[in-house]
A and B are shown apart, each in its own frame.
Chain A
Amino acid sequence: MALKVEHEIHQRRKGRNSGVGLLLVGMVGIVFGLTVVKVLGLTDVRQMERFDHVARPQLEPGALEAAEQRAADLAAQTEESN
């Protein structure tokens, strides 16, 4: 038996199937495009991350500010010690 059996229904529904195929490709394009636009539109790095079942301290409110403060303190200490 041939792998690809050409049936009369394939010919009859060719237009419909092509149309549905194009609509699905268009749908993928829309979802992909929206994803790109939405992600590029994010201004805060924390908006790009969400809870994913592991501890993510950086997602805690104020965590980024605290980390920046710690880095600044560390830089100041290093400068003093030099």
Chain B
Amino acid sequence: MTDVTNHSQKPTLQTGEAQMGDYFALMKPRVMQLVVFTGLVGLLVAPVGVNPFVGFVAILCIAVGAGASGALNMWWDADIDAVMKRTINRPIPSGAVQPGEALAIGATLSVFSVVLLFLATNALAAGLLAFTIFFYAVIYSMWLKRSTPQNIVIGGAAGAFPPMIGWAVATGGVSIESILMFALIFMWTPPHFWALALFVKSDYGDAGVPMLTETHGRKATRNHILAYCVPLVLVALGLGFTSIGGPIYLIVAVLLNVWFLKGCYDIWRRTDADSDADDHAVEKHTFKVSLYYLFGHFVALLVEALMRANGWAVL
């Protein structure tokens, strides 16, 4: 999960009391949007119906759990957030929220979301949510983020769990469909983030965070983008042949994958000189395509589910 909110570069130190908005900002609302959307699709495309109120509570728990892990991440990363321009106005470095408050909110909401999801749905969904929070806050934030340039690959797994949790809420299990939805987001995250890293001037280096563009160079990053895009295409198309896929999904997936693969290939072909010459136009375009890519796949899955539910067969 990556929050690419572009905060103002001038630090604004706040000295007053934290307001609800400051606490809400701790929960990384932009990341929560992706989590809620993919979790909801995972829930709705499952072959088992869920009571609408239970479904609402489940999605709320997934969102709160994601927000809790965001708060724990901000608590742990307060030192590097204070160094980087993009994050210097986050609630803790700006002084709006105390680190201890962020820890307390993150820990409390983690327990709350997992327990409520267990009571509302089932142990597997709650267990997956607990693992997601643990993975993002401990495995990614505390351990791997500062120790390996593959951090974004591993961190992407935390953002990939929500559709799997949504599926588990409905079915009580894990299946090839939910694993492929997980894999779709997991494989999409690295090329999406690295495309961004190629055109945004980052100060991760100043903060001591090893990003691929800085540890292995921009050429290696271009190679990695293409290397992750190829298996991503296979996963995306493979999903179309499961029970939640169908002709509409496959048509959308083929179009989006050709579009995104072409963008990744164009990035791979370029040199840094080409990129600087046109102000990273291809990288920016491919980053934008990556947003449509993920959204388009999940909307297509939703359309297929809607058609199945209403008995509308295309073929």
Q: Which residues of A contact B53 (CB under 8 A)?
A: 33-34, 37
Q: Which residues of A contact B19 (CB under 8 A)?
A: 15-16
User: Would you list which residues of chain B between 11 and 26 have a CB under 8 Å from chain A?
Assistant: 16-20, 23
Q: Which residue of B lies closest to A18 (CB)?
A: B20
Tell me the count of chain B residues lying within 8 A, CB to CB, of chain A.
14
- Counting CB contacts under 8 A, is B82 at the interface? no
- Do B20 and A37 touch across chains, with their CB atoms under 8 A apart? no
Q: In the assembly, what is the distance between CA of A30 and CA of B57, in Å?
A: 7
- Do A15 and B20 touch across chains, with their CB atoms under 8 A apart? yes
Interface range on chain A: under 10, 10 to 19, 20 to 34, or 35 or more?
Answer: 10 to 19
- Do B120 and A34 touch across chains, with their CB atoms under 8 A apart? yes
Q: In the assembly, what is the distance between CA of A37 and CA of B167, in Å?
A: 20
Q: Which residue of B lies closest to A17 (CB)?
A: B20
Q: Which residues of B contact A34 (CB under 8 A)?
A: 53-54, 57, 119-120
Interchain Cβ contacts under 8 Å between A and B, 13 examples: A15-B19, A15-B20, A16-B18, A16-B19, A16-B20, A30-B116, A33-B57, A34-B53, A34-B57, A34-B119, A34-B120, A37-B51, A41-B51
Spell out B's residues near A (CB within 8 Å).
16-20, 23, 51, 53-54, 57, 60, 116, 119-120
List 4 additional contacts besides A12-B16, A16-B20, A34-B54; criterion CB under 8 Å: A12-B17, A16-B19, A33-B53, A34-B120
